Amino acid sequence: MTTEHQRSSLPLFAVALAVFAWGFGPLFVKGIDAPVATIVFWRVLLAIPVSVVVAYLTGGRIDLRLLRGAFPTSICFALSFIFGFASFRETSIVNATLIPALQPVLILFIAARLFGERRTAVELAYAAVALAGVIIVVAGASAAGSSFEGNVLAVLNLLVFTGYFLLGKRARDADVHAWSFLAAVFVGACVIVVPWGVIASDDLGAIHGTDWLLLLGLILFPGMVGHGLMTWAHHYVDVTVTSMMTLANPVVSIVGAWILYEQDLTPAQLAGGVVVLVALGAILRRQRAERALAAEAALTGDLLDE
């Protein structure tokens, strides 16, 4: 593992930026006036050339071995798109963001067995405070437009996205090139998404005018910035930490919905958002302090070896 990046704060910044970018995903989807199947179809299909170009520009390459290795991740990725995008349309943004926000709870239980990660009691307390803040944020929002079917889709999204997250971490721990892996995941996802889109959509040509700009934003910002930086950071940051940082997603989404779609935002929600950000900021500070100590210890060791 590359110890220089592992000890620096750059991966933590990449995680924070990725989480911020992901928070815009529901907002882009909400703004596109087209069926969900049409959005998912074009979102994955058009992301393939973009991701492949980025992979080669960053020194990577795509081959059959990588495609085979990434295919399980691709399945989870494709299903997450299908379930997640559908939940944004079938239920409220509140429910569609809160339910997947429970991902850190699942990962805290799984990561210890898969990766041997352990979090301190203080970090777990901060995570609990952040989760409480998320609940405050979404509890005060209007649940208008929510439905049982949409909530089930959000739960399915939670499960498959957790699988995608953990498989991505495992791949990066094996030192797979981040942007090549992401491109391979998009190619594999196309195998599922394209046939599904053709069957499920009654109008693949339903995207017009400014919808194309929103789709492009969806591909570049939550897609390349969000998934790309998170995939890269998986090699350097514990998956329990990256998953806890995703608790900021609902805050970004709901504040964005307030600004762009004039959804109500109460003082309690604002307070809850501040609680989330402060708690996650505390986790980041602890991580930065640990990395600084690791860097100092490594420097001391290098001087002693000279």
Mean per-residue pLDDT, 173-201:
94
Which amino acid, 160?
A: V
Mean pLDDT lowest among 20-34, 52-66, 108-122, 244-258: 108-122
Q: What is the pLDDT of residue 195?
A: 94
Highest-pLDDT range among 65-69, 111-115, 127-131, 200-204: 65-69
Confidence of residue 1 (pLDDT cuts 50, 70, 90): very low
Number of C-beta neighbours around residue 252 at 10 A: 21
What pTM did the predictor assign?
0.84
Query: In this predicted structure, what is the pLDDT of residue 7?
Result: 55
Rounded-to-integer distance, Cα 11 and Cα 188, Å: 26
pLDDT in tens, 56-97: 999 999 999 999 999 999 999 999 988 987 887 777 666 776
Which residues lie below 8 Å from residue 3, measured CB to CB, with a gap of 6+? 298
Q: What is the pLDDT of residue 142?
A: 56
d(CA 161, CA 156) in angstroms, rounded, equals 8
Nearest partner of 124 among 107, 137, 136, judged by Cα: 107
Q: DSSP string spanning 203-260? A: -TT---THHHHHHHHHIIIIIIIIIHHHHHHTTTS-HHHHHHHGGGHHHHHHHHHHHH
Higher-confidence position of 109 and 226:
226
What are the pLDDT digits (tens) for 217-270? 999 999 999 999 999 999 999 998 998 898 888 888 888 888 888 777 778 878
Give pLDDT, residue 302: 45
State the average pLDDT for the chain.
85
CA-to-CA distance for 249 and 161, rounded, in angstroms?
Answer: 14
CA distances from 67 to 57, 120, 247, 250, 251 (A): 18, 37, 30, 32, 35
Nearby residues of 294 by Cβ (< 8 Å), 6 or more positions away: 6, 7
